[in-house]
Structure formats: structure tokens, C-alpha cells
Amino acid sequence: MTTQPSHNDSILIVGAGVFGLSTALELKQRGFLNVTVIDRMLPPVPDGSSCDVSRIIRYDYTDPFYAKMAREAVGVWKSSKLYKPYYHPAGYVLCSETQHNEFLDQAREVMRKQNQPYSNFRNIQELHEIMPSLKDIDYPFTGYVNQNGGWANAAGAIGALAARCSELGVNFICGKAGTMTSLKIGPDNRIQGVNVVSGGPLQASRVILATGAWTNRYTNLDHAITSSAQPIGFIQLTKEEAEYYKERPVVDNFTTGVYIFPPTPDTHLLKIARDGHGFVNQVRIHDRVFASPAQDTNNALPSYFPQDADQALRHGLRQFMPGIAERPWSRRRLCWYTETPKGDFIVDNHDSIDGLFIATGGSGHGFKFLPIIGTYIADCFEGKAPSELRERWELTPAKQVDGPMACNDGSRGGPSCRQLSDDELFQAQL
């Protein structure tokens, strides 16, 4: 149905996160002449999923496809002029309280099959030998260390990418004039552009929706994606404390889903978060009810997460960094995952609106691919991607989907997903 895009098409990308910006850069580099990115706010968008002091960069996956792709991404993080300043090769420690954890066992097997080195530890003493910087952790657990993992300054890398796009001639419209209220669709069911809060409508011959956790507000993909909020806590360390912890790797507890980063080098911020089943709100549009962050406010502003998240992250702090475990939070946040059933991204033409393309579904693991995912997305957009990739990232028609929506690729820990109460929703400004 959809014809291949041409370099003269006017391309409007909605969303300036990992998926939107990486696509904009790649299309511009491929010779597309008229590329515009719009967003609610200037990137790095403060309540977007791609904005934070840190994100884990790892290639430990149970799915060989993402393991290989993530290894390709790590290579670029380590070497490219654009991204290298934001990458920290601190190492990545995967822990479990039980000798056998399904995710860890499968990830090890993928590592072995792909000839990747890693170091097992059967107890805390063995971990101390591999990673002396973790000597103040005294809880019993097992796991393995991947010395080739680390973390990246997410907001920094996104800012640098946005600047690069702008240098190459990508147009940006941010704020109310760049906040889409709805898609503009012609009588022939062909996309014409988008309607925005102020001014507009913005015309375009192709629209790429890279709106992450907000996507279901603008087109009904309830059968393919859902959203969940995950808690992040920050603690301000002194310069001396940061110095003491600076050699630490990223440590991830797969039993609880809680993980911790080393302090940020300049600002001495400690960050702890949970990769879990998350929290949801209920947005009602007509007769649909779905989870999604607010459109018109910055939901990172209230510095809030629920009480049970607070307890879980405190519990994690006592295990990971007993020395500062009772320190008050300097900031808190709920950050949104865009979930798909198996954690596969969705990068495909919309199944009924001509000229509309979808690029989303990060499922809590999309950030590490920032340096390379634009190439994959542009290949799908131009109809050049191998069929294996097209099928993996296809937008499954509504009628073919049944079973649970939320992602569970086996990597998540902690309690089941729960609905936020009215009071919690009020405090989180959702």
C-alpha cells in the first residue's frame, strides 16, 4: 500500500528521544532534504524516557539478536567522536540471590555461543576478588561480571545528537508549537501532517511517530504497546564520597530488579532504580482506557514516587551501599517504559494510515542502541531492511494479538505491576 519514501518528501518526526533523533540524523545523512523533528519540550526532554544522568550500556541478553546488536552499539559508544565523551566503561555486574537464575543462565549461554568473555562468581568473596571496589557489599549472592558493560550519560548524549542533527539541517519545533494534539489525516486515509497545540497544522507527506510512552494517545496501538512507570532515586554525595565509590561498576540485582550506578563524575549524583513491572495510571479517551504520561505537563517535576518504590530502593541501597543507605533523596522520578509483549521494538508502517510510520517500543532497553538504531529504523522506513528485521519489529495487526501486553522478557524483577491510587496520581501529577 505505502509507496517508498523519496528524498523530496517532507518528513515530520514526532518525538526527540532515542527513536526520533537517531532516525532524523540517519535520514538527513542519507540525503532526505526536508526533515523536521517536533517535541513537547527541547531535547533532552526532561520527562522523556531518553533523559537521565545515566543508562546501562550492556550486551547481556537472552535473545541472541539483541546481544549482537547491543555489541555493535557498544563498539560505537567506545569509538565514535559523537558518543564517546558520554560513555563510561565501568563494567556490569549481574547478581541473583539464587545459584540459578533463568535470565542469567540464558544470558551466559548466549555469551558463550557468541564467544564473549565474562567472569562468574559463586559467592561474595569471589566477587570481591574480581571487583575490589565492591568490598563493602556483604550480602550473599551469585552471578557474573561483564567487564565490557558500563553506562552512558543519557541526557548528555541526547543533547549532543540533537545538536548534530541541527548542524546537518534538521529543523526543530519545540514547545506548544511542536506539541501534537492529533494526526491530520486526509479523506483518502493518507497522512497530511499533525495538528499542534499552538499554530499549525504542520504539513508533511510522511509522519514518523516516535512518541514513546505517549503513543497510544494519538493512534490506537493498545494491542501492540502499553506504558509503565518505573521509579528512580537520586542521592547527592559529597566529593569525597564520590571519590570513594568512583571505581564501582553498575550492579544489577535480578532478584529484585534494583540496580545502581557509580556516582556521576562531575556532579557526584548517585542513582538507583528498578527495572520491574512498574506502575500504571488510567487515561480515558472516548471509550478507551490505557496508561500514558501526561501530555501538557512535565511529569519529572513533582520529584515523586510511591511509598513501596521508596522502600524497595532503600532496601537496595542497604544491600549495595550500606554506608549512605539512609541519606535522603535529593530527587525522585517516575520514568516511562513503552512496553511490547516480548520487548521487541515496533518499527513499521501503520497498518491503515498511509504515510504514517511507527518507531517505538523501547521496552526499557532501548537507550544503549542510540548510536546505531537510526540505521536500522531508516532501513525499515526505506523498505531496505532484511525480512528477518521487518518481521521482528512489525506492527502486528490488532486481530492477531491475544495474551498479556506488558513486556516480560525475563529480565524484570520485583513485584507485579500495580495501578496507582488517586492520591498517588495526584502527587505524581499524572
Ligand X SMILES: Cc1cc2nc3c(=O)[nH]c(=O)nc-3n(C[C@H](O)[C@H](O)[C@H](O)COP(=O)(O)OP(=O)(O)OC[C@H]3O[C@@H](n4cnc5c(N)ncnc54)[C@H](O)[C@@H]3O)c2cc1C
Interface contacts to ligand NAG, rule CB under 6 A: 10, 34, 95, 97, 139-141, 203-204, 253, 255-256, 319-320
Beta strands, E only, 73-218:
87-88, 92-96, 119-121, 142-146, 150-152, 171-174, 180-185, 191-196, 202-203, 206-209
For residues 76 and 124, which CB has a smaller minimum distance to ligand X in the complex? 76
Query: Using the rule CB under 6 A, is 91 a contact of ligand X?
Result: no
Query: Which stretch in 131-139, 280-288, 363-371, 381-389 sits in contact with ligand X by CB under 6 A?
Result: 363-371
Which secondary-structure segment (H or E) carries 76? helix 64-79
Q: What is the DSSP string of 226-272?
A: EEEEEEEEEEEPPHHHHHHHTT--EEEETTT-EEE-PPPTTT-EEEE
Query: Using the rule CB under 6 A, is 55 a contact of ligand X?
Result: yes
Query: Using the rule CB under 6 A, is 272 a contact of ligand X?
Result: no
The half-sphere exposure of 230 on its side-chain side, counting CA atoms within 13 A, is 24
CA distance 117 to 100: 19
User: Minimum distance between the CB of residue 201 and ligand X, rounded to whole angstroms?
Assistant: 13
For residues 6 and 65, which CB has a smaller minimum distance to ligand X in the complex? 65
The half-sphere exposure of 211 on its side-chain side, counting CA atoms within 13 A, is 32
Query: Using the rule CB under 6 A, is 49 a contact of ligand X?
Result: yes
| x-marked contacts with ligand X along 239-268 as a string, rule CB under 6 A | ------------------------------
Largest CA distance in the chain: 68
For residues 213 and 235, which CB has a smaller minimum distance to ligand X in the complex? 213
Binder to ligand X among 96, 227, 230, 264 (CB under 6 A)?
230
Query: Using the rule CB under 6 A, is 40 a contact of ligand X?
Result: yes
Query: Using the rule CB under 6 A, is 337 a contact of ligand X?
Result: yes
Query: Using the rule CB under 6 A, is 295 a contact of ligand X?
Result: yes
Residue 97 binding result from ligand X, ligand NAG, none, given CB thresholds of 5 to 8 Å by partner type = ligand NAG
Query: Using the rule CB under 6 A, is 335 a contact of ligand X?
Result: yes
- Alpha-helical runs (H) found in 148-223: 154-167
397, 348 in Cβ contact below 8 A?
Answer: no
* Cα-based distances in Å from 378 to 29, 158, 349, 390, 397: 10, 18, 12, 12, 22
Quote the cell numbers at residue 222: 493498545
For residues 283 and 313, which CB has a smaller minimum distance to ligand NAG in the complex? 313
End-to-end CA distance of the chain: 38
For residues 126 and 222, which CB has a smaller minimum distance to ligand X in the complex? 222
Residue 48 binding result from ligand X, ligand NAG, none, given CB thresholds of 5 to 8 Å by partner type = ligand X
Footprint on this chain of ligand X (rule: CB under 6 A): 14-20, 38-40, 45, 48-50, 55-56, 178-180, 210-214, 230, 232, 273, 295, 335-338, 360, 362, 364-368
